[in-house]
Amino acid sequence: MRGQPRNNHMKVFVWIFLFVTSLHAIEFSETLAKNIQSYIKPLLEKNLAQKTQRSQPRLGIEFSVSENQMNFFLSRRSQRDTLFSVVVRKEQQTLDTNAVVLYPEEKQIIKSALRIFISEYNANETIIVGPIAWGISKKGVCNLYVEPRDEAGDNLASQLAFGTPLLILESNEDNTFFRVQGCSDGYLGWINSRDFRFVTQDHWDEWNASVVTCNTKEIMLKNMAIPAGGRFALLSYKGKTIHVRDFANNKWEFAKEDFSMYLSQQEKIIDTARKFLPKSLLATQKYLWGGTTTPQTDCSGFVQLTYRMHNILLPRDSDQQYQYSKKIKLENAQSGDLIFFSKHGKHPTHVGLHIDNDLFIHCSASGPYSGVKINSLSGESDYEKYLRKIYYASGRIK
């Protein structure tokens, strides 16, 4: 009887020895990381296609490997599409996996990949899924950045209109910036904490369900200008007047015609687009990289804003809009269809709206002036010859 405890101790010792030996037998190598990368990439792309209704979205999945750690993360370009970061680390006698993802399906993809490619995988797992909080943008125009810093230029990813519902995903170390997903187009980026307000999920759900957007004309809330695309909840309307409230429950009265939900059925996409043409070459409506609302937009921001005025929500960037649209031949293009251009032929880098014949309206920094303009694919100016040369495809919003 006295020998039994000794046998039990021996079994425990052998089990620990085998576990530690098996843990040290796991080698983190570039080959292992590439195998995991090759497994998860098509599954993440398929899931993204289902979530966004875009055809064949492409994700850049990158990795780094050391003796005791593997990191998997999105390329800079793909960080606009989803949230995906995985760290697998060997810690003495344990294997730890920490990850942050946007969708529940991405969590399962991670777990499956690690179990398939790491022998006897048994780790302490911490995988955070989806939003950690909810918010609503509170400025007339809120900048959305690639990196968490107040710098525009190449760092300006997009913009958010007043009242845009936000999913809060993560923060930087001092909580001055938060990574968010804007619910108008699903675009991800970093926003300054002063530019949005935290709300409860119930408040967020209510706000996201019933909104109207202001038309191409700016409206004023006290001393703050609200450009096209601002969101308000409808309270009532009578005659030429509309009563709305903002996300903070302040009530406002405006002219009914200032809200796009009252655009007549006869008003076409192109009619709305033409309203953004400058009244003169001195107008402030110029091209702005990352801009999505008046007075300054980029090419895809202009297309997105025009459609949003008709309560049709498009993805943010030109290549995403291409993936979202149904491909058509140029000769079959109709008024309001999308026309794409590419500087390198790999994917669209510019987009406009087809008018008729060879005419299209778009926003660009080039040409006779910076801003919204009408050009022709059969035009004879050097700029129009260049556009004809880089024409890529045409698409119709399904």
Q: Known catalytic residues?
A: 299, 350, 362
In residues, how long is the chain? 398
CA–CA separation, 242 vs 258, rounded Å? 9
CA–CA separation, 150 vs 254, rounded Å? 33
Residue 106 · residue 47 · CB < 8 Å: yes
Q: Is 321 exposed, middle or buried (0-12, 13-18, 19+ CB in 10 A)?
A: buried
26 token code pair: 């796991």
141 bridge partner residues: 161
Strands, DSSP E only, in 42-121? 61-65, 69-74, 84-91, 94-101
CA–CA separation, 179 vs 204, rounded Å? 17
| Element of type H or E holding 258 | none
228 token code pair: 């096209």
